[in-house]
Amino acid sequence: MDYVKVEVWSYDVWGNPKDGFDVNNRFCESRETYISQNIWEDDREFKKELKKIFCLKPNLRLSSIGLDGDDMVVYVEYSPIGYPIGELIVLDTVKE
């Protein structure tokens, strides 16, 4: 099975839905997190994995998790109000 090796960064956020949100600071939660390539490529399974990685509420709807970015960086937000949660930075793809 192949894996995507990522760094996990969470955000310290200021603001509110009315005025908008700003990322005040970011913190590295993990320098090496491995996500199965199968999960990485499946939007639904990937969002389930993000709930675990960022310790999001178990009852949070997957449709509420917004994703942006490209092949190297994925930005995660709580999309109903545009609240930034964190980011995953791709470091490598590990083949087995």
| pLDDT value of position 86 | 98
Over residues 30-42, the pLDDT tens digits come to: 999 999 999 999 9
Q: Classify residue 39 as exposed, middle or buried by CB count within 10 Å of its CB (0-12, 13-18, 19+).
A: middle
Domain residue limits, the chain:
3-94
* Plot region of 19 (φ>0 → left; ψ -120 to 50 → alpha; else → beta): alpha
Q: How confident is the model at residue 15 (pLDDT cuts 50, 70, 90)?
A: very high
Question: CB-based contacts of 86: which residues, under 8 Å, 6+ apart?
Answer: 8, 9, 10, 11, 26, 29, 54, 75, 76
Over residues 45-96, the pLDDT tens digits come to: 999 999 999 999 999 999 999 999 998 999 999 999 999 999 999 999 998 8
Per-residue CA distances from 3 to 40, 64, 93 (Å): 8, 25, 6
